């Protein structure tokens, strides 16, 4: 049992560490709707504790709904061949008396009241769950209910993006995060239907595109390439550059609605408060943002 416990803890730790290390290479913000938190499709139960981390942050499934193999069978479905399962961790306790005989919780309470010894053996175990993307034969309307059908492409924005020189690949793999990957030079953004509006989608995409201009192969911006950790001064300045640049692009393409402007102001204020004693910050960020915009729209 000790060996199983040690191995399981190590497996979980490695998964979390791997996700955190990956996050170190990302610059992102979230201003869009997702599918919510990971839960069991059959019971509606939201995963908590370590499972909250494992199923919300250590996987890349678009829909955060899971079922056990038994639940899949009970619902008349089947797991797709070759599908990978995810672990759900749970803790349990075995209670024993002084003679190492198993006892119930009530018996343990009675023994303790009488001053007798109760041996408590705690252990961790797991069971497997499968994401609904890997389950066949079960009907659900989740993919329909979370989309906004009236979100559509805005031609001015699409044309600008299409003409960007050396544009990073734009992916829609992770529905819960928007980010620019420095190491792999790509942008992930939730699909347009997951955003509050088409304008919001492009505003977020512009933000990440500004980040991408800082890559070594492009403008080699120090505030992107010298980030040590989330929230440090360099990160804060880079976020200001990205948000200002996104605001410039929104104005150029005619999507600078009042609600977007107010959101940008609030976002900029949140980062400015971290560097309020740096009087030159807004000037540096503005100049860098304009340089980034010029790079993106240059002919």
Q: What is the pTM of this model?
A: 0.59
Alpha helices per DSSP H over the chain: 2-23, 50-57, 69-74, 105-113, 142-145, 155-162, 198-212, 222-225, 233-253, 258-272, 281-297
Give the count of alpha carbons within 13 A of 156, CB side only.
12
Q: DSSP letter string over 21-44?
A: HHHTTEEEE--S----S-EETTT-
For the cut 90, the answer to whether the pLDDT of residue 184 exceeds it is yes
What local confidence, expressed as pLDDT, does residue 40 receive?
94
What pLDDT does 270 receive?
57
The per-residue pLDDT of the chain, averaged, comes to 79
What integer pLDDT is reported at residue 103 of this predicted model?
85
Q: Given this model, what pLDDT does residue 71 score?
A: 96
Q: What is the pLDDT of residue 134?
A: 95
Alpha-carbon distance of 155 to 198, in angstroms, equals: 11
Nearest Cα to Cα of residue 130 among 42, 53, 50, 57: 42
Q: Which of 9-23, 121-135, 144-158, 242-256 has the highest mean pLDDT?
A: 121-135
At residue 186 the predicted structure's pLDDT band, cuts being 50, 70 and 90, is: very high
The rounded percent of the chain whose pLDDT value lies above 70 is: 74
Place 122 in a pLDDT band, splitting at 50, 70 and 90: confident
Return the structure tokens found at 297.
Answer: 């729209």
DSSP summary character for residue 75: T
CA dist 117 and 112 (Å) reads 7
Q: Report d(CA 66, CA 27) in Å as an integer.
A: 28
Rg (CA), the chain: 25
CA 52 to CA 88: how far, in whole Å? Answer: 9
């Amino acid at each position: 049992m000790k060996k199983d416990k040690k191995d399981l803890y190590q497996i979980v730790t490695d998964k979390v560490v791997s996700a955190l290390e990956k996050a170190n290479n990302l610059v992102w913000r979230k201003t869009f709707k997702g599918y919510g938190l990971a839960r069991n499709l059959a019971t509606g139960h939201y995963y908590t504790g370590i499972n909250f981390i494992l199923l919300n942050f250590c996987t890349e499934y678009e829909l955060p709904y899971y079922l056990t193999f038994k639940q899949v069978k009970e619902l008349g479905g089947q797991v797709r061949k070759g599908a990978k399962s995810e672990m759900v961790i749970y803790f349990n306790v075995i209670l024993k008396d002084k003679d190492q005989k198993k006892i119930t919780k009530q018996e343990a309470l009675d023994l303790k009241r009488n001053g007798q010894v109760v041996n408590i053996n705690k252990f961790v175990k797991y069971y497997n769950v499968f994401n609904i993307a890997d389950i066949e034969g079960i009907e659900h309307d989740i993919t329909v209910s979370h989309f906004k059908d009236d979100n559509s492409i805005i031609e001015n924005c699409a044309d600008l993006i299409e003409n960007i020189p050396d544009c990073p690949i734009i992916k829609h793999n992770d529905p819960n995060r928007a980010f620019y990957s420095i190491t792999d030079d790509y942008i992930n953004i939730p699909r347009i239907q997951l955003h509050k509006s088409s304008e919001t989608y492009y505003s977020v995409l512009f933000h990440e595109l500004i980040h991408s201009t800082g890559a070594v192969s492009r403008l080699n911006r120090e505030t992107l390439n010298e980030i040590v950790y989330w929230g440090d001064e360099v990160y804060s300045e880079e976020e200001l550059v990205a948000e200002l640049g996104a605001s410039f692009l929104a104005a150029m393409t005619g999507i600078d609605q009042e609600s977007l402007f107010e959101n940008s102001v609030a976002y900029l204020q949140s980062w400015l408060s971290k560097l309020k004693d740096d009087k030159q910050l807004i000037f540096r960020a503005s100049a860098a943002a304009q340089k980034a915009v010029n790079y993106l729209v240059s002919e």
